[in-house]
Amino acid sequence: MVDDSPEGWPWGLPAAPGPAGDLARARLARSAARVFRGEDGALLLTHLRALTRDRHLGPEASDAALRHLEGQRALVAHLERLITEGHAGG
């Protein structure tokens, strides 16, 4: 049985809403922007996109493979959002 509750997520609960959660999100976004800044960060992000967003499975792909790839895509999209927020001063 799969635990779909937020407490069952391996990355824990989302940040609390309100000022404390906003500050934590802004700090996280700035950190992500710093980590992926520069040539090395751009190379790594390009690699992650190639492995996930730019990858397509054929009709023979299992449900599990599709779900796994979608989870990877969601993670890369989350990183991209954090990076964008961090560059914008989030």
Quick one: pLDDT at residue 40?
96
Quick one: pLDDT at residue 12?
58
Q: What is the pTM of this model?
A: 0.74
The pLDDT of residue 6 is above 80: no
Convert the pLDDT of each residue in 8-17 to its tens digit. Answer: 555 555 655 6
Give the torsion through C-alpha atoms of 46, 68, 83, 48, to 10 deg.
-10
Q: How many CA atoms lie less than 13 Å away from 79 in the CB half-sphere?
A: 19
